[in-house]
Amino acid sequence: MTLPLRIRLTLLFSLAMALVLAGVGWFAYTRIATDLSRTLDQQLRARAQDLSALVQHGGSLRATQGRLVESGESFAQLVTARGQVLDATPPLGRRSLLDASALRRARRGELFLDRPSVPGLDEPARLLAVPAGGRVLVTGVTLENRAETLNSVREAFLIGGPVALVLAALAGFLLAGAALRPFEAGVQRERRFVADASHQLRTPLSLLTMELELAQRRSRSPEELREALASAADSTARLSRLADGLLLLANADDGRVALKVDELDVADLARRVAERHGAQVEAEPLVVRGDALRLEQALTNMLDNARRHGGGEVTLTAAQHDGSVELHVLDNGVGFPSAFLTHAFERFSRGDPASADGSGLGLAIVETIARAHGGEAHAANRPCGGADVWVALPLRAVR
């Protein structure tokens, strides 16, 4: 069973966060343990200096309990070179804390030692042995406080780590959802686009196949063959237009609409397209920068849409308005259904879903071409009746 991409990303993010938290916890724990050990050694050195001065002046270690040595936590012992205990703080006994080897090393300089247990205390301890006028002074401290501190740190990480990991996993799940939402929407849009394109291609392909199969029959007359070939040619032309439109929209999705930009006479462009479609034209003398073939394609789609679904006379106008050049196609029909206006430029959308007339790509291509020129496409119903579809080119594209 394959897990959803969002779950897989969350698990991957959680694993990465677990490794990060474990690494941070280990580093912090090790750093705290090192700092505690360093502080402990500094305390032992300071205490050894004080006690060395004390014993050099004939002072007693027993009398220091509570002043230089804390009861129950630290201790001290003065021994001879042979290991005989001369003085010690309670509750240490008369047994030397150092063996013969440690004594020899301590007489040459300071020596740190860790002991799992100290007689009279039964606790792990850290010792510092230093030479003191032919003798050896041993100071020590139990490691109970250090162990309690490290246990508290470890418990904090063991409790806080999983909580932080759960919160990080939840945040990762939400972030993955937010990051994947556009991707999933794009995939869904592409699937719908492919499905709609397949549906649109199926009809002309079926007609073309049927006409070619009928044309192969020997019983058909020359007139019937000419009609079949004409129908096949229409289907082929429709397929060609549909393929060109699909390619344009696919390139637009990838941001790759190639334009051959040049200076264009808007009035001449409008008249040329309007004449081919038998439409009236009202155009101001304007010059814009754009792709002539693409703008002609957009205007052709707008006029074709008006002739197919509008009524009465169709007019193409071109004028400058609010800092842009607007090219309007007006008809005198019943106008667009009100619910259709909000998605008139969506791909494969039709005012009448039951109609098989057209591919539903005409206005979508118009908007794509307008956006490629840095402009916009709009559709509205005229107050006096009929539809109004127009493209607006920005002022920067106008001379």
Q: Which position has the token pair 């394609």? A: 297
Q: DSSP states of 24-85 as a string?
A: HHHHHHHHHHHHHHHHHHHHHHHHHHHHHHHHHTT--SGGGBTTTB-TTTEEEEEE-TT--E
Give the residue ranges of DSSP H helices in the chain: 5-56, 100-108, 144-215, 222-253, 266-277, 292-309, 362-372
If pLDDT is split at 50, 70 and 90, which confidence band does 23 have? very high
Which range among 123-132, 194-203, 231-240, 292-301 shows the weakest confidence by mean pLDDT? 194-203
- SS3 sequence of 333-375: CCCCCCCCHHHCCCCCCCCCCCCCCCCCCHHHHHHHHHHHCCC
Burial of 128 (0-12, 13-18, 19+ CB in 10 A): buried
Q: Give the pLDDT of residue 343.
A: 80
CATH architecture of 5-148: 2-Layer Sandwich (3.30)
CA distance 314 to 330: 6
The closest of 26, 10, 27 to 165, measured between CA atoms, is 10
385 pLDDT exceeds 60? yes
Write down the pLDDT at residue 329: 94
The DSSP letter of residue 3 is P
Q: What is the pLDDT of residue 118?
A: 84
399: how many CB neighbours lie within 10 A of its CB? 8
Q: How far is CA 174 from CA 8, 41, 177, in A?
A: 13, 49, 5
Using 50, 70 and 90 to split pLDDT, how confident is the model at 245?
Answer: low
Q: Where in the chain is the domain with CATH 3.30.450.20?
A: 5-148
Neighbouring-strand partners of residue 289: 263
Considering only CA atoms, which of 397, 374, 370 is closest in space to residue 389? 370
User: Sorting pLDDT into bands at 50, 70 and 90, what band is 28?
Assistant: very high
310-353 per-position pLDDT tens digit: 878 899 999 998 888 999 999 988 888 888 888 888 877 766 55
**CB-based contacts of 335: which residues, under 8 Å, 6+ apart?**
381, 382, 385, 386, 387
Query: In the chain, which residues fall in CATH 3.30.565.10?
Result: 261-397
- Using CA atoms, how far apart are residues 141 and 100, in angstroms rounded to an integer? 21
Class of domain 261-397: alpha beta
Query: By the 8 A CB rule, do 318 and 327 touch?
Result: yes
User: What is the distance between the alpha carbons of residues 133 and 210, in angstroms, rounded to a whole number?
Assistant: 118
Binned at pLDDT 50, 70 and 90, residue 380 comes out as: very high
Mean pLDDT of 299-315: 87
pLDDT, position 193: 62
pLDDT digits (tens, 9 = 90+) for 95-110: 888 999 999 999 999 9
Higher-confidence position of 316 and 232: 316
Question: Could you tell me which residue, 374 or 70, shows the higher pLDDT?
Answer: 374
Which residue in 357, 316, 387 sits closest to 200, CA to CA?
357
Confidence band (pLDDT; 50, 70, 90) for 247? low
**Average pLDDT in the chain:** 82
Q: How many CA atoms lie within 13 A of 209 on its CB side?
A: 6
Residue 203 pLDDT class (50, 70, 90 cuts): low
Check pLDDT > 60 for residue 204.
yes
The answer to whether 186 and 346 have CB atoms below 8 angstroms apart is no
